[in-house]
Structure 1
């Protein structure tokens, strides 16, 4: 199974390289020229030696001509080698760029359930660290593999040209070196694969701890976190040590065989020279070729080690790229330009886990402009309804319709652009405050951004920032309070003002005084807009047109605030519990 996967990965890599055929061809030509000229140098050296081989028989004119040829050949070799390296570098980073682009594009279209069910650190590790590992191996492969193989073939041809018998001795011993390298390479692939996997786990843990360091310290979890880190780090050390140990055996093993080849050539060549079958210069050339013939085996053994690591990393990246994307929009899907705001849930069933039911047979008709509040205990399905409305998840059965059209027949982009969403979990990107407010409307003017901030009651604290709206905030707004971050997220929605709104605990991190002001702003913003409000503080939803009371995935009560209190049911219990002494 591992061998099949290994082969499929190689095919995928070759497929990625094939789009740059002209670069591969140019690199091969440069490699051919480099090897040819490099192998021509020993012939010139042998001829030069033969010019001075006899006592009192030195051919200075011939020697000078040969030295000029050597200078030209060496210069051309250096130029061809530089050009080959430049082409290989360009081609490697183009291939890596393409693969990383594919991986990030797949991340953009993966269903949300994949992101929710996989460690974020591991995904990051695949796109960053694994592709970097692949890049290093691929670059070494391009640089040394081409020249190595051509050098081996070229030296064999030259050796057969000089003396077929001694060349045959070399060929007979060669398979031993190949067998040693192949045997060790097969062993190392699995080890490098486990090394990459463990590296992903470590990245995931560090990402998790870094993003939640305050919680870790608040609960005194540093020791447990350190122990977990040390456990995974120790696993990474073991896998890395084993992979490096086995891969490092390759080079000494091939060097031993290659030294043996060189010794055999030296002995056979010496006897041939004594018997007059070779000149001293030809013997020197032959020994040079024997050395050049064995050298690529050492280099290729190192390349094979790096390629094993690269292929193991590439396999993890391709696993991500091969994940099933979210169901694409229908070819004739409707582009929803400006929704009226009628939302109809009909016999909706949904669960994250097929074995655990959540929402069953939900039916709801929301008229344009209605304010719908959704309340209920934790885990009853409130946020799940929001996920379904935005089509972050698709229903298992039944349908959700907007303006009479099933949302599965509406493009995701146009559907989501008709919703303005403020979640309890705030998200801000690295950049200026202005860029964060204008995230959904980049073309907004300065006046529009400031007006939205004022309506969200964020303008005053923004003005107190060092550079006002041009103040750069860190990733996820780390240098702002939770309440300030939430105000910026509210301002972001107020700037766009889409026809439908989703407010999921939108004021959970805001002080009571500011919340009253925000609620007034929301009331103004929700006029004429279909709005879904998820709230735990029931005092904030008294003005809703209809309140849905959910429990265990079902709507158990429905009505206005006053009507639900008169029913003295579950909602009344929830409401009264918040004001119980």
Structure 2
């Protein structure tokens, strides 16, 4: 019973995905009609060819027989030549229509691919950060590349082939009926047998085609992950471990691919077996009728040729079913992605830039990742221009607080206010314009230093960029580069140091001129001298702005207006550095432990 329900569900999904895919061609319906017309004309011209060629064979056969009975008579070569010329014209016109339909259909398939990639790209910007936390990057990339390419290629082939095959089957059936009704009935009996066998195979193979696309995405994810972390893999001698993990996924992909391809590949030999049986039956029956004088030699030759051709579109239908399975499996993955829950953009309230003061308030905020509560009952009130430092052990919820402030995640309970307004009621893009983030993990893209800096303000002038770079102490190293601000940063920005990357991200933040600033472990991975430069740059950045600073090195936040000490999602202490040291509590223990570590190092 369960298997039947699964089959029904699979069939329903197949139909649903097919309808949705056809919806992407709604603007090309006229072109699809033209393609169908060209396919019909091309196929019809090809179908009538054997019948006309049969007339030429009959004329030659009759001429030979006349020559035997009357030597003065013979083959009418003039009539045969006319038939041959007509056939050449017929097949030429058929080829032209076939070329035109292929040209138009290729354009339709590529437009569908273009629109799907565009939708996927736009969807990426509407997905919550939680989606990227739960899914592999490589799998997402696979949907944009492999799945769309699979869909495009098979769509281009299968639609044309489907129209041509149906027209061919119908046309050949009609032509066979004009030759002999009895033999036609024998030939047609093969169709239900063939279709039954095809449907049985398709039901089995569709499941494996879906798994094939799934594991292909996982394999891409593993390759991307291993490639980006190659330094760590080598440093820990983990090559063998990574190879075993890769082989595990690769074996699953092999198993599902093998099963799907095997099941689909047996369609063709099965079709050939059925068609050959039919061919033998037709040949025997046709020979008998020819001897009995009930059918002309040319007609039986044409019928046998039609019989051979009749099985070709059935074979093509088998191939189409194979292609469609890959197409729908890829389409299912794409549509699953496009149907993912999006960020709520319904809020439209906007605070004018000149009205944003930067007052932040957390009211009884509760939040957890997948029901694992990280922030239990967080309350905080920050005045405009205040410098707030957040410290605490790993897993205390420090980074989560600023992610909630940036609206990367939705709260489980409570609310966050900006200048007295609930941030969930504010238009998201305009809200985030008031923020800039400088993270521990710097992100720069392959392009010039100028382009990377302007990412903070796309319409910035060159002078504004220079000014921001000077304020971040980044202009010193930029000007030492051979091409200055036009220096191309390589992939993964390997041609500059970690500290230099951090200075560029700070300059980018300064250029964006935010009202509220978030610094998350911005100096944790640099040396002391570079840290001093970054600290000076951050002092310029923080000036007159509400700022939240997450730091492990407590010595860097001594001058904060307020230090929040977090532990297990709650504020356990708060105050200035001096006040917290006098309390002789959690903060002092953290500070003293870091001081002792420095003493041991020295």
TM-score above 0.5, yes or no? yes
2:252 to 235, 254, 264: 235
1:460 aligns with 2:468: no
Hey, what does 1:63 align to over in structure 2? 80
- Residue by residue over 1:493-541, the C-alpha shift from the partner in whole angstroms, topping out at 9 and shown as x without a partner, is 1111111111111122332223223322322322221111111111111
Q: 1:140-159, aligned counterparts within 5 Å? A: 140-159=157-176
The answer to whether the 8 A contact 1:136-1:306 is kept is no
2:428 to 412, 418, 423: 412
1:366 aligns with 2:382: yes
In 1, Cα distance between equivalents of 2:400 and 2:344: 19
Hey, what does 1:376 align to over in structure 2? 392
In 2, Cα distance between equivalents of 1:430 and 1:514: 24
Hey, what does 1:556 align to over in structure 2? 572
C-alpha deviation, 1:336, in angstroms: 4.7
C-alpha deviation, 1:119, in angstroms: 1.4
In 2, Cα distance between equivalents of 1:335 and 1:86: 52
In 2, Cα distance between equivalents of 1:237 and 1:557: 56
The answer to whether the 8 A contact 2:506-2:537 is kept is no
1:10 aligns with 2:27: no
The answer to whether the 8 A contact 2:502-2:534 is kept is no
C-alpha deviation, 1:421, in angstroms: 0.8
In 2, Cα distance between equivalents of 1:19 and 1:246: 36
2:410 is paired with a residue whose SS is coil
Q: 1:296-311, aligned counterparts within 5 Å? A: 296-311=313-328
Query: Structure 1 stretches of 5 or more lacking a match?
Result: none
In 2, Cα distance between equivalents of 1:103 and 1:376: 39
1:184 to 160, 179, 201: 201
C-alpha deviation, 1:3, in angstroms: 2.7
1:109 is paired with a residue whose SS is coil
1:50 to 41, 44, 58: 58
C-alpha deviation, 1:380, in angstroms: 0.7
- Residue by residue over 1:161-192, the C-alpha shift from the partner in whole angstroms, topping out at 9 and shown as x without a partner, is 22122111111122111122221121111111
**TM-score under structure 1 length normalisation:** 0.96
Count of aligned pairs between the two proteins: 579
1:529 to 545, 559, 568: 545
In 2, Cα distance between equivalents of 1:390 and 1:238: 44
C-alpha deviation, 1:412, in angstroms: 1.3
Hey, what does 2:48 align to over in structure 1? 40
In 2, Cα distance between equivalents of 1:520 and 1:460: 14
C-alpha deviation, 1:389, in angstroms: 0.7
Hey, what does 2:243 align to over in structure 1? 226
C-alpha deviation, 1:101, in angstroms: 2.0
Q: 1:76-225, aligned counterparts within 5 Å? A: 76-225=93-242
- Residue by residue over 1:62-110, the C-alpha shift from the partner in whole angstroms, topping out at 9 and shown as x without a partner, is 2232222112211111110000111111111111222222222222211
- Residue by residue over 1:220-275, the C-alpha shift from the partner in whole angstroms, topping out at 9 and shown as x without a partner, is 11111111111221222222222221211100000111112222222222222222
The answer to whether the 8 A contact 1:329-1:410 is kept is no
2:272 is paired with a residue whose SS is helix
The answer to whether the 8 A contact 2:142-2:220 is kept is yes
Moved more, 454-463 or 360-369: 454-463
**TM-score under structure 2 length normalisation:** 0.93
C-alpha deviation, 1:438, in angstroms: 0.7
2:574 is paired with a residue whose SS is strand
C-alpha deviation, 1:454, in angstroms: 2.3
Moved more, 232-241 or 547-556: 232-241
1:429 to 445, 460, 469: 445
1:480 aligns with 2:496: yes
C-alpha deviation, 1:277, in angstroms: 2.1
The answer to whether the 8 A contact 2:365-2:379 is kept is yes
Hey, what does 1:334 align to over in structure 2? 350
In 1, Cα distance between equivalents of 2:494 and 2:228: 10
1:572 to 555, 565, 588: 588
Moved more, 389-398 or 234-243: 234-243
- Residue by residue over 1:343-400, the C-alpha shift from the partner in whole angstroms, topping out at 9 and shown as x without a partner, is 111111111132x322122111111111111111111111001101100012111111
2:417 is paired with a residue whose SS is strand
Q: 1:321-360, aligned counterparts within 5 Å? A: 321-330=338-347, 332-338=348-354, 339-354=356-371, 356-360=372-376
C-alpha deviation, 1:205, in angstroms: 1.1
C-alpha deviation, 1:335, in angstroms: 5.0
2:369 is paired with a residue whose SS is coil
1:20 is paired with a residue whose SS is helix
In 2, Cα distance between equivalents of 1:48 and 1:397: 86
Q: CA RMSD in A?
A: 1.6
CA separation of 1:485 and 1:521: change in aligned 2, threshold 3 A? closer
1:434 is paired with a residue whose SS is helix
The answer to whether the 8 A contact 1:336-1:410 is kept is no
In 2, Cα distance between equivalents of 1:126 and 1:335: 38
Q: 1:539-554, aligned counterparts within 5 Å? A: 539-554=555-570
C-alpha deviation, 1:457, in angstroms: 2.0
Query: Structure 2 stretches of 5 or more lacking a match?
Result: 1-8, 68-73
1:52 is paired with a residue whose SS is helix
